[in-house]
Chain A
């Protein structure tokens, strides 16, 4: 930018020299030409102003041509280089020049034509004829005197020819005395005056003297002076001549002089009409050139004034487009262009500010991106090093990525992904297993994978990832190796079952053993109450065996829960069907239902869900001691279909609300405490849940939630 300014400054200096130098050169040249012409035309003073005008015209013309040519060449070069603002400058200048040139030229042409015809008209035939007539009048008046003098000269010449040479002077003197002539000159061929009268009236020059000796003689020469004479001369013999002079009458001379002077003016004007025309045309041309020059100059100035800010704007725009925002267009004006320029400067400042902010944002973004990259790398490393398998799955269920552990589970390397995995049978099995999980993201599912004679138990959970539009674009499948945990849990479960079974079996076994021992003792003793003891003992044994049978049945039922078979159905119908047997069996228990007719169909296993509802009804009936009211209602809560069952019993104590769904927990004297555990398991199989209705205080309230 600084370099460009320095170059511009040098260019400006050069331009200034050209601007001063060229006109100065032209001016000096013009003065020189004028001086030369004036010097070379000293004998023609009238023409000097014409030459001054002519040189002035030429000077203007050359200057104008120089200006136009310079602008033309400059404009053409700039046009070719597609320099900023060149085209509009050329157009504007052309318009201004034409605006000045066309009317001025037309005016000049009209003026030239008018001057040509008007000046010629001044010297038309009538005027010329009148002047000629006046001249003829003068001439005819003078011609009489000329003829008279000529006749007299010839007469005297003849008379003298007959007089001896030595008496000729006396004879001439005698003639002069007679008054026939107003003046007389008698001289020889050598130029010697023999006689003249009156003395030195007029000098007869050598030309006239020679003329007298010619064959035609001297005829009617008028010599103006004080007084004026008409002279005629004739040869006298071979070597002498006489000139007779007659005075011009003063009055006639005055009249003739007056007419002649006017005629002279006319003749001079006529002869100089060409120069008169030239002077007028030259003046008009000078005026026209001055007007055109002014138009061009004003046009150039206006063009520069208009185009300069435009050029600056264009250059500025170019600079801005190149990314240079450290510029301010140095142009201040209160006109519209000034407003545009100041708006441009403001815009550049705003852009600069925006750019700074963008750079700052970019820096922050870059830092954030780097941080994100670091975080991503960290997460990737973390994910890779996690002890759980993580697989990302696309919208269509295709595999996208898998971490180290996942690849290990699937028996793949990093290079195998994703092409190979889709062909693996095991992947198909996983996909089948997790298909339902996409609908129940909160569920987890155990998947057994058999790879190389090894069976792994994986806990699969699917986490959907929502895209910005709210849909699910991909999911994350988390596979947790629970083989060991499952084994431990199974062992623990079996241990628990064994412990429970042992405990439950041990409890009835004690009274059985005691009864058996008592019967043996009584039998050994031969006691009289043996029969009674037998009866009593067998009753006890039977009762305890029955209890053991009941326990075995319950275990059996818990263990034998079949897999849920989901089917679309009406929850209302299910509730009514489930309640029907209890309505008949317990007349003191009142059932009331709040079930909307347009309640949507829901996917569930008919048989198992009926077992759940019946279990809950039985609990309520038992709690109400076979009398009370059971209120059933259906409702939609967000993504859930809810079945609410409320009774008018004593309600559920708060201290057991957390434990009541655990296996083997029971408040009843009879029972293994597996009923609610079964309910929970069935609901989990459905992707649902069960909650205690904490808001209800009129008894016990339980709500079952099923996915819609």
Chain B
């Protein structure tokens, strides 16, 4: 009995942590008093589960959350800018095309079809130049803000019953405001 429980816990732990995808580099650019953020996923984010989900002909959505957060001492940090990009891929096994819909903060931005999984991987593997908004209100100075990114890939369950998102966890980077 003990062994079974241990195996179940180990399996659950492994499934959560062993092959968890990671966010790679985050880069920021200030143009016309706007902050543009780009980031990519580390290699291997297309896990077998993700691949299977992509090939399942059911919509698979990657949710990219990008936040600019102000540090506060002795209290919770404050999110000052936030964007959510959702990329939903639906595979059509008749046409062998992947229909991709990109949504920014709930608004559809683009829709297109891809013919190979490599193209899909390229599309899902990062976000280019997402406009975080105006930085006019941000205080200039070093180490006052940081940008953080989290990508949620799949919905999952831990120990069969506990709903759990399969995500990258927050990846943070110091933001030097101009």
Contact = CB atoms under 8 A, between A and B. Distances in A.
B61 interface: yes
Contacts, number: 85
B92 to A, nearest CB: 8
Interface stretch (A265-273, A432-440, A686-694): A265-273
B62 to A, nearest CB: 12
Interface in B62-103: 92-97
A271 B163 contact: no
A139 B93 CA distance: 9
Interface string A248-279: 00000000110010011001101110110110
Nearest to B110: A207
A221 interface: yes
A47 interface: yes
A221 B162 contact: no
Q: Which of B56, B112, B157 has the largest count of A CB atoms less than 10 A from its CB?
A: B157
A44 B52 contact: no
B94 A257 contact: yes
Given A267-B57, A271-B55, A271-B58, A54 B162 contact: yes
B112 A207 contact: yes
A575 interface: no
B4 interface: yes
B7 to A, nearest CB: 11
Interface string B103-145: 0000000111101000000000000000000000000000000
A399 interface: no
B93 to A, nearest CB: 5
B163 A37 contact: yes
Nearest to A112: B160
A54 B159 CA distance: 10
B110 to A, nearest CB: 8
Interface in A31-60: 37, 41, 43-44, 47, 50-51, 53-54, 57-58
A139 B115 CA distance: 13
Contacts of A207: 110, 112-113
Contacts of B57: 264, 267-268
A270 B93 CA distance: 14
B18 interface: no
B157 A222 contact: no
B93 A281 contact: no
Interface in A95-134: 105, 109, 112
Contact of B61 (A37, A43, A139): A43
A149 interface: no
Interface string B148-169: 0000000101001111000000
A73 B119 CA distance: 59
A138 interface: yes
A43 B56 CA distance: 16
Contact of B113 (A135, A142, A221): A221
B29 to A, nearest CB: 24
A222 B94 CA distance: 9
A58 B61 contact: no
Contact of B93 (A41, A135, A277): A135
Chain A contact-residue range equals: 35 or more
B34 to A, nearest CB: 24
Contact of B157 (A54, A224, A267, A271): A54
A407 interface: no
B97 A267 contact: no
Nearest to A286: B161
Nearest to A33: B163
Contacts of B157: 50, 54, 274-275, 278
B155 A44 contact: yes
B163 A138 contact: no
A221 B115 contact: yes
Contacts of B49: 274
B56 A267 contact: yes
A12 to B, nearest CB: 36
B155 A47 contact: yes
A278 B112 contact: no
A270 B51 CA distance: 12
Given A51-B163, A109-B4, A220 B94 contact: no
A285 interface: yes
B52 A270 contact: yes
Contacts of A2: none
B155 A54 contact: no
Contacts of B93: 135, 260, 263-264, 267
A178 interface: no
A205 interface: yes
Interface in A601-642: none
Contact of B95 (A205, A222, A263): A222
A224 B56 contact: no
Given A50-B157, A138-B94, A272 B56 contact: yes
Counting from the closest, the 4 A-B pairs by CB-CB distance are A271-B56, A207-B112, A260-B94, A222-B95
Given A41-B163, A222-B94, 14 more contacts: A50-B163, A54-B162, A135-B93, A138-B94, A207-B113, A221-B115, A257-B94, A263-B93, A267-B55, A267-B57, A270-B52, A271-B55, A274-B157, A282-B160
16 contacts: A41-B163, A43-B59, A54-B163, A109-B4, A138-B94, A139-B96, A205-B111, A221-B115, A222-B97, A224-B92, A272-B56, A274-B157, A277-B160, A278-B157, A278-B161, A282-B160
